[in-house]
Structure 1
Amino acid sequence: MRRRTPHALLATTAALAAAIVAPQPAAAAVPAPGTYYVQSATTGLNAADSGGAVEQHRPRGDEDRQQWRLKPSGSSYLLENTDAPGSCLGRDGDQAATVACTGGDAFWEITPLGADRHTLKAPGTTRYLTVAPKPSGANYPARLALGGAGDLAAWYLTPVSPVTSPMPPQDRRTLDQVTFLTAHNAYANGVDGGFAPPFVNLVPNQTRGIARQLADGVRGFMLDIHQTPDGAILCHNSCTLVSRPVALWVDLQRIVDFLEARPDQFVTVFLEDYVDPGVLRAELARVDGLADVLHRPDRTGVRQNGWPAMADLIAANDRLLIFTDHSRSADQAAGLTRDAFGVMYQREWTVENHWSMGPGIGASDWSCYSRWYDAGTNLPLTRTEPGFRPLFVMNHFRDAGITATAATDNAKLADRARRFCQPAARKKPTFLAVDHYDLGDPAAAVAALNAYTYP
């Protein structure tokens, strides 16, 4: 299961922050009248009406009074809440509030900042809608405020129903335009070997082995690795009391052999990683043919030029991408970074929503917010950099992989992706990660997403 407590923010935070404040090409204009989410460029959270206060909340589609109807009014604009006609996003002193749309405190001057960001300024003043400054050691406060210009006053106006485009032809579609079916805890399948103490083994996340997953169209694999005297082993939480555990190299060899047999395919592996870098390097060295298919975005200009076309990756035989959730800073302290041998640090290349929708049974939480947003970490789902858009890992599973629940959740995957997570990240999911991928037809959601591109 995905780790509940994220590592400290990577050393790249300063670079990411610089990307937010760096000058961008000017945007053409204020968006056309329509229905939008007012989304912080700093946190990725949405402005929501909360009993008259306007707070930043986790994106929840149409379930949390987060949708605002943009209307021009002379040289200014109104943002009317779709759940409360006549009530607009406005001001009450130095705090944001919902007010009558007819009052003077409901109007905003909206100015493009570039990179699709805008400011919302109270007319005739130098006061802007802002996220309140973050206290030391805490999250940003929920209540939105009026403050000065700067990063905290940058907002996306994200369309509730964006205009999409058809998927480009096979030879032109890029990696970040494609969506892949991904198996959460792919190793915890009860077929290939033991993965947990006996009781936990009774509730696997998948019911088919890695080879069958590949044959069925799974192209993303989430694997937990722990360190033992035998190397990097696939286990849940720890390898103590696990019978017949599988080594990482065994499953990677299955994947590499599949890629050699299917030269038109691309696979991504996500490591929840509890091993020393030297141990992981030795484990990868046991995989025959790994170096021949390993994709190295750090060496091919991806950060400067964006993700390459799938056809180019296949032509170059760069068809296996491996990520780790480990901390670069911890590896630097140890003297060996994982990208030195081809394992990319996930937080540098992707964004990812919180890993759980709730317990194995009962109501689910469909809100879609960053896994890496807390008092010490702020990597919003909306993160972008000049020339580069991170891949989006969309988690869609619960604390426990109960089959009946997974079947129901998987049947709703396309709806959650379209209405909740896609606007929350302002990009299409690259990886749809589910439990029991063979139930509820999540492959249909993948096919639906692969029919278009997000603007």
Structure 2
Amino acid sequence: MPLILFAVFLTSSAVMPATSACSNGQCKLGDECSSDADCQSGLSCLSCSEAFKGKRCIRSKATDQFEITNSLPFNRYAFLTTHNSFANEEEPHHTGIRLTFVNQEDSVMKQLNNGVRALMLDTYDFKGDVWLCHSFGGKCHDFTAFWLAIDTLKQVEAYLSANPSEIVTLFLEDYVETPNALSKLFQDAGLMKYWFPVSSMPRNGEDWPLVKDMVANNQRLVVFTSKESKQESEGIAYQWNYVVENQYGDDGEHLGECSKRGESAPLDDKTKSLVLINHFHSIPIKELVCEDNSARLLSMLDTCHGTAGNRWANFVAVNYYKRSEGGGVFQAVDKLNGQLLCGCDDVHLCKPGSSSATCSAIKGQ
């Protein structure tokens, strides 16, 4: 099914009126609800004024693609990515009044538990330490700071410790100038035991190692920095040696276009094995995001697939990742993983253990 038609199906199915009253965990995708407790597992009760009145059960948990197969290279999978993962509503104010916007609702730990597998973090020198922060004038301030970076990284460590078959990727928009501050940060957070080394990353478009081997070797944390010098000085991979990325924010949100980010190589440069697609506006507005994360997202992924030399995205970065008209970002990532794993329209159509174009006629068979 082409992505555009898939999007129409997804949108229409998500906005169908509920056929009967439901509650106590019995409400299905698209059913009216009053709280999360009404919805079946993997669904949340949320609003989307652009598509329907009131609240409905929509998807809020990702499919674990590694349960279908973990025998493919890392670059043959797609991962849900949160933009400004640290800028979330659950984080208390640590510096007094915070006068900046948030991009997510859930804590980092909740994001990971719901299937987010890549985090975008902005790191700054601030108050003698490394903080996660929005920029104002290129600097971190009390009114744009969120919290110490080590607190987030400790959540990542706790998640990896509790989930020994999962892999997490970090994209650092890096403004830290203090020498070795980042490498010390990862050491102090207990994350070096999961570190995937730069020396094992392909530089000329080759496949990455197999996921099952990354897991077996406990190399389950992949980290990229935007600062080129840190690959040599601290052993943190320089993102643009390995990843192509489209333009972020409003400048990247033009129907039918998928332009590259300024720092990135062209999207069709196949010497970079990983493709990251941003799909979010510059200012996150919760009630408007649900439309972005639905049919528009599927359309963008289709466009970027062509622009990237017929390569499907490995990372899909969004604001308010749970907000949609129904299946949302989770259904989009299922589509990508279906294409990457077995050439199917949905990862649930891939036969478990298959690494070729072998699709089931019915999901789950």
TM, length-normalised to structure 1 = 0.55
Q: Distance in 2 between matches of 1:422 and 1:225?
A: 30
**Mapped pair 1:258 → 2:148:** no
Match of 1:153 in 2: none
SS at structure 2 position matched to 1:420: helix
Q: C-alpha deviations, 1:243-271, integer Å up to 9, x for none? A: 87311111111101111110010110111
Between the aligned partners of 1:433 and 1:230, the Cα distance in structure 2 is 30
Identify, as 1 or 2, the structure richer in helix.
Answer: 2
Mapping 1:41-190, distance limit 5 Å? 170-190=69-89
Distance in structure 1 (CA, Å) of the matches to 2:68 and 2:113: 24
**Equivalent position of 1:286 in the other structure:** 188
Deviations 1:81-111 (A, max 9, x none): xxxxxxxxxxxxxxxxxxxxxxxxxxxxxxx
SS at structure 2 position matched to 1:384: coil
- Counterpart secondary structure, 1:193: coil
Moved more, 301-310 or 180-189: 301-310
RMSD across aligned C-alpha pairs, in angstroms?
A: 2.8
CA distance in 1, matches of 2:248, 2:192: 30
CA contact 2:202–2:208 (8 Å) conserved in 1: yes
Q: Aligned in 2, Cα 1:270/1:243: closer, same or farther, shift over 3 Å?
A: closer
1:352 deviates by: 0.4
Q: Which AA in structure 2 matches 1:431?
A: F
Aligned to 1:432: 316
What is aligned with 2:234?
341
Structure 2: stretches of 5+ with no match in the other structure? 5-65, 344-356, 358-365
Of 331, 338, 341, 1:451 maps to 338
Q: Deviations over 1:13-62 (max 9, x none)?
A: xxxxxxxxxxxxxxxxxxxxxxxxxxxxxxxxxxxxxxxxxxxxxxxx9x
CA distance in 1, matches of 2:127, 2:95: 17
Question: 1:335-370: per-residue Cα shift (whole Å, max 9, x none)?
Answer: xx34543321000010000011359xxx85552111
Which residue does 2:203 correspond to in 1? 303
**C-alpha distance after superposition, 1:53-81 (max 9, x if no partner):** xxxxxxxx9xxxxxxxxxxxxxxxxxxxx
CA shift for structure 1 position 278: 2.2
The within-5 A match list for 1:179-258 is 179-194=78-93, 198=97, 200-201=99-100, 203-237=101-135, 238-242=139-143, 245-258=146-159
- State yes or no: 1:368 paired with 2:258: yes
Kept in 2: contact 1:183–1:220 (CA 8 A): yes
Judged with a 3 Å threshold, the aligned counterparts in structure 2 of structure 1 residues 274 and 243 are, in CA distance, closer, same or farther, namely closer
**What is the total number of aligned residue pairs between the two structures?**
269
Counterpart CA distance in 1 for 2:67 and 2:155 is 31
Q: Distance in 1 between matches of 2:94 and 2:336?
A: 32
Is residue 382 of structure 1 aligned with residue 265 of structure 2? no
Whole-angstrom CA distance in 2 between matches of 1:408 and 1:169: 29
Residue 244 and residue 193 in structure 1: after superposition, are their counterparts in 2 closer, same or farther (change >3 A)?
A: farther
Q: How far apart, in 1, do the equivalents of 2:153 and 2:144 lie?
A: 20
Deviation, 1:228, is: 1.5
Which deviations, in whole Å up to 9, do the C-alpha atoms of 1:394-434 show, x marking residues without a partner?
00000111012211100125522442111111211110000
Is the CA contact (8 Å cut-off) linking 2:85 and 2:120 kept in structure 1? yes
User: Which structure 1 segments of 5+ residues have no match?
Assistant: 1-60, 62-166, 332-336
- Tell me the distance in 1 between the aligned counterparts of 2:189 and 2:67: 35
SS in 2 for 1:302: coil
Identity %: 27
Are the aligned partners of 1:350 and 1:391 in contact in 2 as well (CA < 8 Å)?
A: yes
Look up the SS of the partner of 1:255 in the other structure. helix
Distance in 1 (alpha carbons) for counterparts of 2:146 and 2:302? 39
* TM-score, length basis structure 2: 0.67
> In structure 2, how many angstroms separate the alpha carbons of the residues matched to 1:204 and 1:354?
20
SS at structure 1 position matched to 2:180 = helix
Larger radius of gyration: 1
CA contact (8 A) 1:239 1:245 kept: no
Distance 1:353 1:197 in 2: 35
